[in-house]
Amino acid sequence: GAVVSQHPSRVICKSGTSVKIECRSLDFQATTMFWYRQFPKQSLMLMATSNEGSKATYEQGVEKDKFLINHASLTLSTLTVTSAHPEDSSFYICSALRGRGAYEQYFGPGTRLTVT
């Protein structure tokens, strides 16, 4: 099956700093990747859709200047949480669509962000 990795798996940072999370499709090309956020005991919430070589599309209520998404290659998308605050502490999960015109969506293992 298709594999999606995330790095780091967990990170702790101080309030006011920025954190970058990487999402890689290891054995396939992904023109489209998605970023989700999940708070404790809640479901996954879609944050943004990232297409290779173009600007990300953010869901309503998600600040694009706070959550910077870059999808510079067909196998890598990054999410940067800028000026992180404790309320940004969450489980961030990326997902990738395999190939063009694809609907098979594969998920990464998630990144646990804790802002102190």
Check binding of 85 to another protein (CB under 8 A).
no
How far is residue 49 from each of residues 10, 13, 54, 57, 99, measured CA to CA in Å? 22, 25, 10, 5, 15
Among 43, 54, 60, 86, binds another protein (CB under 8 A): 43
Number of residues that bind another protein (CB under 8 A): 26
The residue range among 12-20, 28-36, 67-75, 82-90 that interacts with another protein, by the rule CB under 8 A, is: 28-36
Q: Which amino acid is at 3?
A: V
One residue of 44, 62, 74, 76 binding another protein per CB under 8 A: 44
Identify the H or E element spanning 22.
strand 19-25
